[in-house]
Structure 1
Amino acid sequence: MLNIVLFGPPGAGKGTQAAKLIEKYQLVHISTGDLFRMHIKEQTELGKRVKDLLDNGILVPDSVTIDMLEEEVQKNPDAKGIIFDGFPRTVPQAEALDAFLASKNSDIKAVLQLDVDEAELKRRIAERKKVSGRADDDEDKLVKRIDEYFNKTVHVLPYYKAQGKLTVVNGIGQIEDIFNNLCSAIDTE
C-alpha cells in the first residue's frame, strides 16, 4: 500500500495537492479536518465534543482522533493506499498510526511537508475564507491554528525524518510545479 502523510500548516495547499495525488495514485483521502467537520455537521456526540474544542482553537485529544481515524481506515480495506491529511499532529499519534498500520501489515511510505511562510499562509486563508466561508478560517482562530502547527505539530517531523521518510517540498509557486515535486518524492520511495 502507498500510504502518505501530507503535512503543512493551515493554508499550505494540502487539500489542493491531496486531490491531485488522490487522482494520480488512486488513494483514499482521510482528512481529520473533514471528518471533524462531518461529525460536527451531523451533530454526533463526537461532533459536539470536537466543536467545543475547535471553537476554542484547541486540538482534539489523541485518543479521539486515533479512534476516528482507525474507523475510517477500516472502511477502505481494498484501498491502494491512503493519504493522511492533518494527521498525525503529535508524536503519540504518529506512533499510534505506525502501530495500527503495522497490525495491517502496512506502513507509511512517504511523509511530505509543504513548506510555506506565515505571510503567505495568511494571504491564502483570507482568500479561501471569501470563497468557502469556513468558520475555522476566522482570523483569531487562524492565528491559533498556525501557532499550533508551528509550536506543536511541526515536532512530529523529526520522528519521520529519523525514519528516512520525510521530504520537504516548497509549497509556494505554481500548483502544478508543487504537485510534480510531490510526485517525484513519492516515486523515489
Structure 2
Amino acid sequence: MTGAESTVAARVPLLNAANVLTAVRLVLVPVFAVTVVASGMIHAGWQLAACLIFVVASVTDLVDGWIARRFSLVTALGKVADPIADKALTGAALVLLSVYDRLPWWVTAVILARELGITALRFWVIRHGVIAASRGGKIKTALQILAITWYLLPMPAALAVVGPWIMGAAVVVTVVTGFDYIVQALRLRRPTP
C-alpha cells in the first residue's frame, strides 16, 4: 500500500453504509435462525418470513460490497466482518435445513468445509496478496442463495423437486471454485525467483 493509499484508507470512517449493512446481516442471522425454528419447516407463514429474512440478508451482501468499492469505503473491519457475516448466514441456513431433514448433511459439510477452508487460505496468503472473488465464486454464491431460498419456500411437491438440482449445481460449482482458489493461494505463496 502506498502512502497515498494508506492516507485515503485512514480517512474512511469505520461507521459507514457498507459496514452498517454488514452489521445488519450479522444481526439478521439469529433472527433468521429463530424464524426457521419457529416454522419447524412446516408452518408456511413462518417459512415465508424466514425466506424473506434470508433474501434481505443476502441482498445486503451484494449491496455492501458494491457500496464499499463504489464510494471507497473499504475498511479493515469490513474486510474481516463481511466474509464472517456471509459464512454465518449461509452456514446457519444449511445447518438448519439439514436439522429439519430438508438437506443431506453431507451437502452441508461439503459447502461449509469449502467456505471455511477458503477463508483460512485467504488469511494464509494475506501477506503475499489477495485472492479476489472470481466469476465462479460469484456464480457459486448466487446458486447457493437460490438453492437455499428454494428450500426455505413452502412449495408444492412438483416445484420442490427443482431444489435438489439447484443445490447440486451449487455443490459442483462450490467444489470446483474451491480448487481454483487453492491453486491461486499456492501461486501467491510460491517464492519468486
TM range (shorter): under 0.3
TM-score for both structures, normalised by structure 2: 0.26
Structure holding more helix per residue: 2
TM-score for both structures, normalised by structure 1: 0.26
- Identify which of structures 1 and 2 has the higher relative contact order when contacts are C-alpha pairs closer than 8 Å and 6+ apart: 1
- Kindly name which structure, 1 or 2, has the bigger radius of gyration based on alpha carbons: 2
